[in-house]
Amino acid sequence: MARRILWRLANLVPLLFVISLLVFFISKAGPADPVKDVLSEKMSPEQIEQIRQAYGLDQPAWKQYLHWLRDMFTNGGGISLSVRSPVSGIVFPAFLNTLILGAATTVVAVALGVLIGFVSGIRHGRLIDRAAMLLVQIGSNLPIYWFGLIVIWLTAVQWNWLPPGGMHDLRGDGGFGDLLLHLIAPAFAASLVSMLIIARFVRAAVIESAGSDYIRTYRSQGFGRAAILGKHIGRNILPPIVNTTGLTVGSVITGVVFVETIFSWPGLGSVLLNAIAGSDYPVIQSGILLVATTFVVVNLITDVLLDLLNPRLRHGGA
């Protein structure tokens, strides 16, 4: 098992290399020209050419790639082409913010999803099950553009309970409590979809597990409902929970762009969006490599946990 983990981590290197190559050439082949953007609208062709030279964009693509690669190891990814400032200063803080939102989202999605799924599963077919499932189904299919605004409008403008967006109260001291307060609405909004999926998976797993012969065995021994639910059903539905949780972490990292926009969350999503639009490949590269690393690590953890959770898989397969 330990060897497998190391192997997977070692895999990361070629994987990231492939990603960086792909990303580089896709952003090169893409429609955009990193220098031709809003600014260039207002520049003459000679001026544009000058900037192009300044960033070495007149060189052949493979040279540009090598330059980027060198920059990656020497000065944190080089200089952004569209923002003209060091990539590390752009990408890292944004990524950190996205991670914060991602973590909060995951916590909300998993906590509520598991709770709802569990309750629904136990009360399978009853009113509370139907009501809860309907509720999460509705919640997770509310278009975020619409729902997010309504949330902001109600909680921030009408009732003044929550801040209208951002990460910190710019007037306050920016403490942890403040961050939490700012996290509530975006994390909740971003978690809805995953919450539904987790809830449905957990529900299905609970139903299946609750009807199984081994749960019948526990029941025959007079174990209380709480013990059976908490320990045994709980343990046997862990794999789907872990699996969907791993996926949730992933999906929130790449999927919160729109939530970030609406809640003015200074995350990686909008940075990447802008960079992609402007073919700012140094930023795209670094951003995607960070995301990819996170994914691989999260997926690795998920896989290992899944194997550990399944006694039959612990030895790495039969």
Site for another protein in 131-190 (CB under 8 A): 134, 137-138, 140-147, 149-150, 152-153, 156-157, 160, 163-171
**Residue 299's closest CA among 3, 2, 9?**
9
- The count of residues in the chain is 318
The residue from 45, 60, 74, 173 that contacts another protein (CB under 8 A) is: 45
Rounded to the nearest whole angstrom, what is the least distance from the CB of residue 175 to another protein in the complex?
Answer: 16
Rounded to the nearest whole angstrom, what is the least distance from the CB of residue 74 to another protein in the complex?
Answer: 14
Contacts of another protein in 264-283 (CB under 8 A) = 264, 266-267, 270-274, 276-279
Give strand pairing partners of 33. 36
Q: How many residues bind another protein (CB under 8 A)?
A: 144
Helix axes 2-29, 61-74, angle to 10 degrees: 130
Nearest residue (CB) to another protein, 47 versus 63: 47
Rounded to the nearest whole angstrom, what is the least distance from the CB of residue 187 to another protein in the complex?
Answer: 16
- Under the binding rule (CB under 8 A), the answer on residue 119 touching another protein is no
- Under the binding rule (CB under 8 A), the answer on residue 70 touching another protein is no
Rounded to the nearest whole angstrom, what is the least distance from the CB of residue 60 to another protein in the complex?
Answer: 20
- Under the binding rule (CB under 8 A), the answer on residue 106 touching another protein is no
Rounded to the nearest whole angstrom, what is the least distance from the CB of residue 311 to another protein in the complex?
Answer: 4
Nearest residue (CB) to another protein, 63 versus 314: 314
Contacts of another protein in 203-262 (CB under 8 A) = 204, 211-225, 227, 231-232, 235-236, 239-240, 243-244, 246-247, 250-251, 254, 257-258, 261-262
- Under the binding rule (CB under 8 A), the answer on residue 127 touching another protein is no
Nearest residue (CB) to another protein, 66 versus 227: 227
- Under the binding rule (CB under 8 A), the answer on residue 44 touching another protein is yes
